Homo-oligomer: A and B are copies of this chain.
Amino acid sequence: MSFEWSCPAPLRDYDRITIGHGGGGLLTEDLIRHLFLPGFGAAAAEAGADDAAIVEVGGQRIAFSTDSYVVRPLFFPGGDIGRLAVHGTVNDLAMVGATPLALSTAFVLEEGVGLDMVARVATSMGEAATEAGVMLITGDTKVVDAGLADGMYITTAGIGVVPAGIDIGARLARPGDVVIVSGPIGRHGTAVLSVREGLEFGTEIESDCAPLNEMVATMIGTGADIHVLRDLTRGGLAAALCEIATEASVEITVDETSIPVPPAVEAACGFLGLDPIHVANEGTLVAFVHPDDAERVLATMHDHPHGADAVAIGEVSTERPGMVSARTALGSHRVITRPLLEQLPRIC
């Protein structure tokens, strides 16, 4: 069997999978655009830039999303692979405005892993699902030989319903929109890294891993004109803003000093040479909201535990489509770019 390359552009000259191909950055996008989509051919739906796809079924819009979780270690401050697998997929559904209904759970278990560890993860998934108000309705279990996995990998998929009249997506960002971030950034990535590398940062940093669907429902419930929602996972705030700027062909400018970064995250990132805006979050989102509605949406978010520290950080304009920049404390501007690859591999 021979394979004919059908991709119009080279995969940045790699001929093998590297860790960076799984980082959610430009290398992952290369893989999707130049390998998966040409391979899938006519069976591939138009690749949207949103966290969930939407299918119409008998007048209903069903949102559908999936993610595999390979985080190392399996347990970290503020969460574990099970909690992540449930909330990650719940959040992907919520980011297109859908009400999550049900998840599937597929496990690839490594031979030899303790049943007590699997049970802890299952319990955590049950608690996370109850917290998010979704059911775990179907699943699968496979086992691979000792050494051929890292304890366990979990893949969840989820379905939800998009309420009538709701249309939220990266392409819909509009000039004038206010950019709101729901809380402090950088916690998930630094929390995982702290336990993985055995680092201590003085204060323990906890992952922000949380279900955002309830808060999103209250935001939508205000009737505000919400154009984009995006959770700040792999690639962090920077990746989310760059994707939205590209997809909607708009310029996004944020005030660097207004971006909430917890001091412990700031210290850890300084120590590690990371920029908090590139670090993954698992319970934090950005919302792009019509300027007339921004105050109302912020007030609603402040009433919810996952949005208590929500703050407007910037705005959308038309000058340089695709450009994202930050106004610094000194009044200068720095360009924000999408990382080529994830700085922290196996973060989710």
Once A119-B3, A138-B53, A159-B62 are accepted as A-B contacts, the answer to whether A111 and B19 lie under 8 Å apart by CB is yes
Q: Do residues A58 and B55 form an inter-chain contact, with CB atoms below 8 A?
A: no
Q: Do residues A39 and B150 form an inter-chain contact, with CB atoms below 8 A?
A: no
Which one of A124-132, A189-197, A236-244, A249-257 is at the B interface?
A124-132
Which one of A101-109, A303-311, A322-330 is at the B interface?
A101-109
A270 beta carbon closer than 8 Å to chain B: no
Residues of B close to A125: CB separation below 8 A: 39-40, 43
Once A126-B40, A144-B70 are accepted as A-B contacts, the answer to whether A110 and B17 lie under 8 Å apart by CB is yes
The smallest beta-carbon distance between A34 and chain B, in angstroms, is 9
Which one of A8-16, A167-175, A274-282 is at the B interface?
A8-16
Q: Which of B70, B122, B159 contacts A35 (CB 8 A)?
A: B122
A332 beta carbon closer than 8 Å to chain B: no
Residues of B close to A121: CB separation below 8 A: 39
Residues of B close to A14: CB separation below 8 A: 115
Residues of B close to A38: CB separation below 8 A: 119, 122
Chain A positions 46-103 with a Cβ under 8 Å from a chain B Cβ: 52-53, 55, 57-60, 62, 64-70, 75, 101-102
Q: Do residues A55 and B137 form an inter-chain contact, with CB atoms below 8 A?
A: yes
Q: Do residues A119 and B57 form an inter-chain contact, with CB atoms below 8 A?
A: no
The complex places the Cα of A129 from the Cα of B39 at a distance, in Å, of 11
A32 beta carbon closer than 8 Å to chain B: yes
A272 beta carbon closer than 8 Å to chain B: no
Q: How many identical chains are in the complex?
A: 2
A21 beta carbon closer than 8 Å to chain B: yes
Q: Do residues A39 and B126 form an inter-chain contact, with CB atoms below 8 A?
A: yes
Closest to A153 in B: B108
Once A60-B57, A116-B3, A126-B41 are accepted as A-B contacts, the answer to whether A157 and B19 lie under 8 Å apart by CB is no
A269 beta carbon closer than 8 Å to chain B: no
Q: Do residues B17 and A119 form an inter-chain contact, with CB atoms below 8 A?
A: no
A143 beta carbon closer than 8 Å to chain B: yes
Chain A positions 124-170 with a Cβ under 8 Å from a chain B Cβ: 125-127, 129-130, 134-145, 147-150, 153, 155, 157, 159, 161
The smallest beta-carbon distance between A140 and chain B, in angstroms, is 5
Closest to A234 in B: B142
The complex places the Cα of A232 from the Cα of B58 at a distance, in Å, of 31
The complex places the Cα of A182 from the Cα of B32 at a distance, in Å, of 37
Q: Do residues A113 and B17 form an inter-chain contact, with CB atoms below 8 A?
A: yes
The smallest beta-carbon distance between A155 and chain B, in angstroms, is 4
A-B contact pairs, 12 of them (CB 8 A): A1-B120, A17-B118, A17-B143, A19-B143, A39-B125, A41-B123, A43-B129, A43-B130, A58-B58, A148-B148, A148-B149, A155-B155
Q: With A17-B113, A22-B142, A40-B129 given, can you name 9 additional A-B contacts, CB distance below 8 Å?
A: A17-B109, A18-B111, A22-B109, A32-B139, A38-B122, A45-B137, A62-B159, A108-B108, A145-B345
